Amino acid sequence: MKLIRETYLEQIRPYYETDLIKVITGVRRCGKSILLESIRDELVRQGIRGDHIIYLNLEDLDYEYIVNASDLNKEIKSRITDDEKYYLFLDEIQHVEQFEKALASFRASLNVSVFVTGSNSTLLSGELATLLTGRTVEFEVLPFSFYEMKEYFELNHRPFSEDMFTDYLKWGGFPLRFDFQDEASIRRYLLSVYESIVKKDITGKSRSIDRKAFTDISLYILANAGKELSIDNILAGYEKGNKKVSRRTIYTYLEKMKKAYLLHGVGRYNITGKTALSNKEKQYAVDCGFRTINTNTINFEDTFFLENVIYNELISRNYTVFAGKTYKGEIDFVAIKDGKKCFIQVAYLLATGDTIKREFGAYARITDASPKYVMSLDRIDMSHDGIVHLNIIDFLLRRKDLMLT
């Protein structure tokens, strides 16, 4: 059975009846189409007539005749027969050339609520940005969170336990990967998804991209997700192999990975000055499964896999997230929502006195009164001195939430 992704529906519902174009984006195969179907089905349950819902999957061969904005315009207008409100669902809209012109026309001349999906962030750039400035609202969808994995297993009457967190940490939450039971099959599936994204959303028919260089650089970036990105290390690695790549090329490939939603760049937040800084410090993978297939050795205890999962959880819950910087150190995350914030440190286990001192001590010089958390897999509550210790699994399974001020 298909999972109803309430986390995202809660964010989108307030916009169902507005004339803003609802743009649902995210990495390929993360479940955007299913979410679009869930919105459609919910509208039907609310009493919207089926003949006033127009749903086109533009990857379906049935609609291969819709090539450009003019074709799309004709198709939609041929289905509208009265002045009542219609609901348009256009899945994978990027397959239509200059689709933005059709969307602008629909919004200006028809009584419609429009929902579109796409797998590349250029969906909101170029002409779409100029034609529809201030008239779109974007929702990024990620693969299943650990909580959604639990919901999916229970919905399909499959056994679930907290011990499956290691499996989630390693192989991530792409919905279809749960159809496979053995690791070899999961790896093969994730590789096929990753290669499809690279081919369709990054390299394509471009002659400007050295595919071998892109593969090497993307592997390095994903394998080191969560760490401070070192362009110099990439350049040095190339020099050792008697190869050359420019700094500009590395930044270009990094941007392409972001536009395909393979990565999220995390900006820095100056905790002392309470200001966001524009330069990016860290990159996190959209899914830990993509880290695993690009990493030769996996050490979950280094916390970077845990950080990645927590970062994705936070942004799926609609937090704005930064890496915190202090005068002499850093805090893993500054999480902000509705103008309120908290600080988060992530550890694997608080196994020794030195580890406890290091993680809790990171807050020693911070005078900001916002809530402070240390997250780890420990079950014993080690909260002290106003700093809250939170079990990671309890947080991911939504038994406990963050307080913000």
CA distance 404 to 401: 10
Q: Identify the pLDDT of residue 325.
A: 84
Q: What CATH number does the domain containing 85 carry?
A: 3.40.50.300
The verdict on 127 and 197 lying in the same domain is no
Q: What percent of the chain has pLDDT over 90?
A: 74
The verdict on 249 and 382 lying in the same domain is yes
Would residue 360 count as lying in a domain? Answer: yes
Q: Which of 140, 175, 196 is the last residue of a domain?
A: 140
Residue 257 has pLDDT above 80, yes or no: yes
With contact defined as beta carbons under 8 Å apart, do 285 and 308 qualify? yes
Pairing between β-strand 53-57 and β-strand 21-25 as defined by DSSP bridges: unpaired
Q: Identify the pLDDT of residue 402.
A: 97
Q: Identify the pLDDT of residue 128.
A: 53
The verdict on 50 and 185 lying in the same domain is no
Q: In this structure, is the dihedral angle defined by the CA atoms of residues 86, 91, 92 and 96, taken in order, positive or negative?
A: negative
Average pLDDT of span 157-169: 97
Q: Identify the pLDDT of residue 162.
A: 97
Mind listing the pLDDT tens digit for each residue in 261-285?
999 999 889 887 677 765 657 899 9
Average pLDDT of span 72-93: 97
Mind listing the pLDDT tens digit for each residue in 374-388?
999 999 999 999 999
Range of the domain at 336: 144-405
Residue 121 has pLDDT above 70, yes or no: no
The verdict on 161 and 233 lying in the same domain is yes
Number of domains in the chain: 2
The verdict on 125 and 189 lying in the same domain is no
By the 10 Å C-beta count (0-12 exposed, 13-18 middle, 19+ buried), 72 is classed as buried
393 to each of 132, 375, 400, how far by Cα in Å? Answer: 41, 9, 9
Residue 149 has pLDDT above 90, yes or no: yes
Residues in CB range of 72: below 8 A, 6 or more apart: 66, 90, 96, 99, 102
The verdict on 134 and 194 lying in the same domain is no
The verdict on 122 and 189 lying in the same domain is no
Q: Identify the pLDDT of residue 327.
A: 72
The verdict on 157 and 114 lying in the same domain is no
The verdict on 46 and 169 lying in the same domain is no
Would residue 1 count as lying in a domain? Answer: no
Mind listing the pLDDT tens digit for each residue in 15-37?
999 999 999 999 999 999 999 99
DSSP state of 392: H
The verdict on 226 and 194 lying in the same domain is yes
Would residue 123 count as lying in a domain? Answer: yes
CA distance 203 to 190: 18
By the 10 Å C-beta count (0-12 exposed, 13-18 middle, 19+ buried), 285 is classed as buried
Would residue 304 count as lying in a domain? Answer: yes
Q: Which of 99, 118, 140 is the last residue of a domain?
A: 140
If pLDDT is split at 50, 70 and 90, which confidence band does 124 have? low
Instruction: Calculate the average pLDDT of the chain.
Output: 91
Average pLDDT of span 243-249: 88
The verdict on 130 and 149 lying in the same domain is no
HSE, side-chain direction, 13 A CA sphere, residue 3: 26
Q: Which of 140, 165, 193 is the last residue of a domain?
A: 140
What count of other Cβ atoms lies within 10 Å of the Cβ of residue 161? 8
The verdict on 181 and 276 lying in the same domain is yes
